[in-house]
Structure 1
Amino acid sequence: MGYVLYLYSHFFLIRDGEAGPIDPQPVSVVICAKNEADNLRQNLPSILAQRYTNAAGKKAFEVIVVNDGSTDDTEKVLNELSQQYDNLSPVTIPADAVRDKPGKKYALGKGIEHASHEMLLLTDADCKPVSDHWIRTMTAPLHEGKKVVAGVGRYYEAPGLLNTFIRWETLHSLFQSASYAAAGKPYMAVGRNMACTKAAFHEAQHSKVWDKLPSGDDDLMMRAVAHSNNTAVVIDTDVQTLSLAKGTLPDYVKQKQRHLSTGKYYKLSVKLALGAYALSHALSWLLCLVLLLAGNWQLALGVMIARCITYYTIWHAVSQKIGEKMSFSAFLVGDAGWLVYNFAFAPYILFKNKQRWK
Structure 2
Amino acid sequence: MLIPKLLEQDFSVFEILVVNDHSTDESLELLREFDQKHHNFKFLNLTEQTGKKAGITAAVSLAQYDRLVFTDADCIPASKHWLRSMHSAFMPNAEIVLGYGAYLKLKNSFLNKLIRFETLLTALQYFAYALHKNTYMGVGRNLAYTKTLFTTSGGFEAHKHVKPGDDDLFVNQNATPTNVALCINPKAFTISQPKTTWKSWFIQKRRHVGIAHLYQAKHQVQLALFYCSQVLFFLFFLGAALTATAHFYIILCLFVVRELYVWGIYATTAKKLQERDLIPFILLLEPFLVSLQMLIFISNSLVKPRRWK
TM-score normalized with structure 1 length: 0.80
Deviations 1:209-265 (A, max 9, x none): 321311211111112210110001111111100011100011111221222233112
**Aligned residue among 236, 260, 270 for 1:309:** 260
% identical aligned pairs: 29
Could you tell me which residue of structure 2 aligns to residue 333 of structure 1? Answer: 284
For 2:224 and 2:208, the matched residues in 1 are separated by 17
Is 1:85 paired with 2:44? no
Identify the range of structure 1 (335-344 vs 307-316) with the bigger mean alpha-carbon deviation: 335-344
**Preserved CA contact (<8 Å) 2:15 2:40:** yes
Secondary structure, in 3 states, of the residue corresponding to 2:160?
A: helix
Aligned-residue RMSD, C-alpha: 2.0
For 2:211 and 2:68, the matched residues in 1 are separated by 22
**Preserved CA contact (<8 Å) 2:21 2:46:** yes
**Aligned residue among 129, 138, 143 for 2:77:** 129
Q: Mind listing any 5+ residue stretches in structure 2 that lack a counterpart? A: none
For 2:284 and 2:111, the matched residues in 1 are separated by 10
State how many pairs are aligned.
306
For 2:42 and 2:301, the matched residues in 1 are separated by 39
For 1:203 and 1:333, the matched residues in 2 are separated by 45
1:234–1:113 distance in 2 versus 1, CA, 3 Å: same
For 2:157 and 2:189, the matched residues in 1 are separated by 31
Could you tell me which residue of structure 2 aligns to residue 261 of structure 1? Answer: 210
For 1:179 and 1:256, the matched residues in 2 are separated by 22
Is 1:342 paired with 2:293? yes
- 1:325 Cα shift? 1.7
Could you tell me which residue of structure 1 aligns to residue 101 of structure 2? Answer: 153
> How is 1:44-123 mapped onto 2 (pairs within 5 angstroms)?
44-53=3-12, 60-94=13-47, 97=48, 99=49, 103-123=51-71
**Preserved CA contact (<8 Å) 1:187 1:222:** yes
For 2:114 and 2:25, the matched residues in 1 are separated by 31
The letter for the 1-side match of 2:64 is S
1:212–1:269 distance in 2 versus 1, CA, 3 Å: same
1:114–1:202 distance in 2 versus 1, CA, 3 Å: same
The letter for the 1-side match of 2:34 is L
For 1:104 and 1:330, the matched residues in 2 are separated by 35
**Preserved CA contact (<8 Å) 1:264 1:350:** no
Q: Mind listing any 5+ residue stretches in structure 1 that lack a counterpart? A: 1-41, 54-59
Deviations 1:269-289 (A, max 9, x none): 221111111001001111111
For 2:71 and 2:279, the matched residues in 1 are separated by 31
- 1:350 Cα shift? 7.6
- 1:267 Cα shift? 1.6
> How is 1:153-232 mapped onto 2 (pairs within 5 angstroms)?
153-158=101-106, 159-206=108-155, 209-232=158-181
For 1:134 and 1:349, the matched residues in 2 are separated by 36
For 1:228 and 1:176, the matched residues in 2 are separated by 16
**Preserved CA contact (<8 Å) 1:151 1:190:** yes
1:64–1:327 distance in 2 versus 1, CA, 3 Å: closer
For 1:272 and 1:260, the matched residues in 2 are separated by 14
The letter for the 2-side match of 1:47 is L
Deviations 1:50-92 (A, max 9, x none): 1110xxxxxx111111100110111122123234322110111
1:272–1:67 distance in 2 versus 1, CA, 3 Å: same
For 1:61 and 1:301, the matched residues in 2 are separated by 57
1:237–1:353 distance in 2 versus 1, CA, 3 Å: farther
Could you tell me which residue of structure 1 aligns to residue 272 of structure 2? Answer: 321
**Preserved CA contact (<8 Å) 2:237 2:255:** yes
Is 1:251 paired with 2:251? no
Secondary structure, in 3 states, of the residue corresponding to 2:167?
A: helix
1:329–1:294 distance in 2 versus 1, CA, 3 Å: same
For 1:167 and 1:271, the matched residues in 2 are separated by 23
**Preserved CA contact (<8 Å) 1:120 1:198:** yes
Secondary structure, in 3 states, of the residue corresponding to 1:217?
A: coil
- 1:349 Cα shift? 7.5
- 1:208 Cα shift? 5.9
For 2:173 and 2:151, the matched residues in 1 are separated by 10
